[in-house]
Structure 1
């Protein structure tokens, strides 16, 4: 039975408001969350051990990162992948992605259990069909899907055998069988969800330990949960209309972090805190992302 869940211990992180907050991930080894302000060209780092947020300026738009090892991260930027050294923030070009296409930029991404990085691009002005979704693993880049307007919703089932992705502009979430060893599709994608409230768009998503899919619905202020069969189960309401992406954090992955954006809003108020980054406790366990395989 579906229900509205009240976020327990809801908190707003002491971090700058984001024009377009996106791409949250978490490193349980250091108890650190990372996310981006894409438009602001910033990488934000929140160290929970001392409740401190660091802001790293970037020379380009970037939207996601994955852990390589203790020293390095793989950063998804508007023109491709960069290796980032954690200690000093140094950026080293690794692989170009649509670097010769001035119309597109990076957007959603997530790491499959095999260490594969699924990467979504989109038009800078959301031009229809300008984006794609790629698979990167061990130095090899493969374009999986073309004609995507706003790539989002990339996440993977706990058994690593199903991938999800969304086109926010179309209001559709797709699912596809994948090889658990490589993260590559083994069949054709099919619709998973396509019925959302008017004005709502499926944005970032994560799968929890039981296989439920949690999707930030842009324009609604909600993160909604669905069964692996697409049945709506429950939702969390947040004080931000433009929620963008969830991630699991905390020692047991029993806390959810949600980014949001104030881009396109004339004014934000105490009632609508779009642009803020939120955390709240969960009555279930999530999952952490694996390291990416270079």
Structure 2
């Protein structure tokens, strides 16, 4: 019996960047390559589709009226009432090769934002730190930025360059979200099926990772040991997020990007978004501090 049920049957070419807003009981996520922001009530099931006009990949809450969106030319403030986007901080805006990718808010309110080449050009991307209007590059020569996530106390960050198969961990300053040491290997996934994609860390320090091409979500202990593997009904799950009033469920996006017609026929739910039917000890995303 499958442990995953369909949350949204809207098919995304590249579903990514899910983030739950407890104030509205809505899950937000993206179809990156088609420039769409999707919004669906967890209890209501009502879906709204917002056209952004450019590729975007991640969203964070600023306050009740504003959100911050990571897009291909930088960080934009989105007015919730009107949907209007206003550029706040350019990021690689003069580089047409790259776009935003995996990003997440540190418990202190800082944002780690990843970029990558639109065609997965080798080493074209980077990972940035953004906090109260300041932007710094943390890591360069990144091909596919992914798995950015933090422990609840803000003392540890995780990230990967998916092309390497290595999930890294680095100590952080809990007050600023800046790295406080050199990255160390957390999980070596090179001999396993699929690729390390998006991740979240729960209150117990368990990291939940979507395995692109591996048809699974994997859970790792705080020491990096594999605790469990949950089969998914799609080949390319892309990113998880805690959802629900108690943050006790996992939503997982997926994609059909890169599949031909025959492959899509064999993977008919590719691009849908799912709920895992297992309890998790999740937590809500922190709000991002832009000034």
TM bin, normalised by shorter chain, reads over 0.9
- 1:125-177 per-position Cα deviation (integer Å, ceiling 9, x unaligned): 11111110000010000100001110000000122100000111111111000
1:156 pairs, out of 143, 150, 161, with 150
Deviation at 1:15, TM superposition (A): 4.1
Residue 200 (structure 1) aligned to one of 190, 194, 205: 194
Aligned to 1:146: 140
Distance 2:277 2:8 in 1: 17
Which position in structure 2 is the counterpart of 1:213? 207
Backbone CA RMSD of aligned residues:
1.4
1:233-248 alignment runs, 5 A limit: 233-248=227-242
Report if the CA contact (8 A) 2:200-2:241 is conserved.
yes
Q: Which moved more, 1:124-133 or 1:263-272?
A: 263-272
Q: Are residues 196 and 250 of structure 1, via their aligned partners in 2, closer, same or farther at CA, if it must alter by over 3 Å?
A: farther
SS at match of 1:169: helix
Question: Please, which runs of 5 or more residues in structure 1 have no aligned partner?
Answer: none
Superposition pairs of residues 21-60 of structure 1, within 5 angstroms = 21-60=15-54
Conserved? CA contact 1:203–1:216, under 8 Å: yes
Which portions of structure 1, spanning 4 or more consecutive aligned residues, are displaced by more than 3 angstroms?
A: 196-199, 269-272
Structure number having the greater helix percentage:
2
2 CA distance for matches of 1:214 and 1:104?
Answer: 27
Q: Does 1:291 align with 2:265?
A: no
Which residue of 217, 225, 230 corresponds with 1:223?
Answer: 217
| TM-score, normalised by the number of residues in structure 2 | 0.96
Structure 2 CA distance for aligned equivalents of residues 271 and 38 of structure 1? 20
TM-score by structure 1 length? 0.95
The residue number in structure 2 matching 1:252 is 246
Structure 2 residue runs of 5 or longer lacking an equivalent are: none
Indicate if the aligned counterparts of 1:200 and 1:220 stay in contact, CA closer than 8 A. Answer: yes
Q: Who is 1:61 aligned against? A: 55
Contact 2:189 2:195 (C-alpha < 8 Å) held by counterparts: no
* Counterpart in the other structure of 1:127: 121
Distance 1:189 1:151, change over 3 A: same
Match of 1:280 in 2: 276
- 2:160 and 2:92 map into 1 onto residues whose CA distance is 20
The separation in 1 between residues aligned to 2:52 and 2:136, in whole angstroms, is 26
Structure 1 contact 134–145 (Cα < 8 Å) conserved = yes
Count of aligned pairs between the two proteins: 288
